[in-house]
Structure 1
Amino acid sequence: MITGASGGLGSALADALAPTHTLFLAGRPSPRLDAVAERLGATTWPVDLADPDSMAAVVEPIVELDVLIHNAGVAYPGRVAESHVDEWRSTMAVNVVGAVALTLELLPALRAARGHVVFINSGAGINASPGLASYTASKFALRGFADSLRADEPTLRVTSVHPGRIATAMQEDLVAYEGRPYEPDRFLSPQTVARLTVDAINAPADAHVHEVIIRPNPAPR
């Protein structure tokens, strides 16, 4: 199951996993999500991360799950003094509480498969990013949840992926906030991050990749 698979890194993850996995693409129904599912022969799964009370009924049919990838997230560019409490609530609701709620509801299915939970975090989950106050806080919290899950569920593999800046629509919004021209070649491609994430998922059974840290290569391409 992949959340946030309608575009960007989420659809790149779906592309990379489609040859070897049966895909559940979780998220709010949308034409973009339907298009990814149709292209890959995947199943869409209606999950609203902002409504944790709805999740139990939605995921109840799933009895075994090999991999859960938390990729969905929101970001509101802004420094601390520019931020609003409503933005903090929304960021935490989707990026943290939604991920926690979905994981808790799927724990029995993950345990049954001795599965793998992957959190697409961020460099902002290791070092604070200027201009991304609420997003940074949410990613630190998500990292803490991943570490706790790993400690408390020894039959599961739990991986936090911390990419640098990726060439996505979210990145374009951030660059616009910074007042700079958007140059995709300066950032990681979604396909690169997806490939390295899948490498962690496909690691041999005796290996447990705790963290993957990826940064753009500054050398000319």
Structure 2
Amino acid sequence: MSTHLITGAGSGIGAAVTRRLLERGDDVVALARDAGRARELTALHPGARTLVGDLGTPDRLSWAFGQQTMPDRIDSLLHVAGVVELGRIGELTPRAWHFQLNTNLVAPAELTRLLLPQLRMAKGHVLFVNSGAGLDAHAEWGAYAASKHGLKALADSLRHEEHANGVRVTSVYPGRTASPMQAKVHQQEGKEYDADRWMDPGSVATTILMALDLPRDAEVNDLTVRPGR
């Protein structure tokens, strides 16, 4: 049985991956921003454990983990959580930049740093759910795309640094996926949201599990997934 630590387990892709892992009997530790959210995740995913740490304040993750019992072994660290706030460069405030950069980039870097000892011991896997915006930036997506371009650089550097330690690193770049986050994006864009137009989170979860389940002689570095309709 493998142990997976996942962010963003409360909805969308993260919730779909968490369900799949629990259904097959794996051990899942879901990161929650506070104690209240931890209770919600426990109710949503019976059998999952929780760890409390706010991705919005990455400087405090080390302190938060020091107050809790950490998993002895981590076979995979799944960075799924993300936030988005659209806006033109000429209008985005530092608050909007920090909001997205902290959660989407700095927190994954810090979380990875803190958990590398367990990942190295298990010859584990770090998987980043990135975005199509991590490969191509468009108008009004500047801050979000910058955070996701940075996440790609983080993954690529980590892959080179940890290869000798047996740690595999994968970036997944989903296109638009039916989720609460996608509904928020449509609201910011002033568009009507129709979930049937976009990928089901379970389809992205299938690609994530494929990358995790590859035999040790293979590694998926980058995986792009797009809506098929």
SS at match of 1:40: coil
Matched with 1:163 is: 174
Q: Which amino acid aligns with 1:177?
A: Q
Residues 89-118 of structure 1: CA distance to partner in whole angstroms, max 9, x if unpaired? 111111111110110000100000000000
Match of 2:162 among 153, 156, 170: 153
Size of the alignment, in residue pairs?
A: 218
Alignment correspondent of 1:3: 7
SS in 1 for 2:188: helix
8 Å Cα contact 1:63-1:112 kept in structure 2: no
- Alpha-carbon distance in 2 for matches of 1:166, 1:82: 27
CA offsets 1:58-81 (integer angstroms, 9 cap, x no match): 446333210000111111011222
Structure 2 counterpart of 1:21, from 23, 26, 33: 26
Query: In structure 2, how many angstroms separate the alpha carbons of the residues matched to 1:13 and 1:129?
Result: 28
Q: Distance in 1 between matches of 2:189 and 2:225?
A: 22
Relative to structure 2, which stretch is displaced further, 102-111 or 8-17? Answer: 8-17
Structure 1 counterpart of 2:200:
189
Q: 1:197 to 1:74 in 2, by over 3 A?
A: same
Counterpart selection for 2:89 from 80, 84, 92: 80
Q: Tell which deviates more after alignment, 126-135 or 66-75.
A: 126-135
For structure 2, list consecutive stretches of 5 or more residues without a partner in the other structure. Answer: none
Q: Is the Cα contact below 8 Å between 2:52 and 2:65 reproduced in 1? A: no
CA contact (8 A) 1:83 1:133 kept: no
Does residue 199 (structure 1) correspond to residue 210 (structure 2)? The answer is: yes
Pick aligned residue for 1:41 from 44, 47, 50 = 47
Work out the CA distance in 1 between the residues paired with 2:199 and 2:38: 23
Greater Cα shift, 194-203 or 170-179? 170-179
Return the TM-score normalized by structure 2.
Answer: 0.89
Mapped partners of 1:85, 1:51: distance in 2: 15
Q: TM-score, normalised by structure 1?
A: 0.92
The equivalent residue for 1:96 is: 105
Q: Structure 1 182/113 Cα, relative in aligned 2: closer, same or farther at 3 Å?
A: same
Asked whether 1:126 is paired with 2:135, we answer yes
RMSD: 1.6
% same residue: 39
Counterpart check, 1:51 vs 2:57 = yes
Report the CA distance between 1:31 and its aligned residue.
Answer: 5.2
Distance 1:187 1:217 in 2: 8
Q: In structure 2, do the counterparts of structure 1 residues 181 and 114 end up closer, same or farther at CA, with 3 Å as the change threshold?
A: same
Cα gap change, 1:36 to 1:86, in 2 (>3 Å): closer
Deviation of residue 17 (structure 1)? 1.2
Partner amino acid, structure 1, of 2:203: T
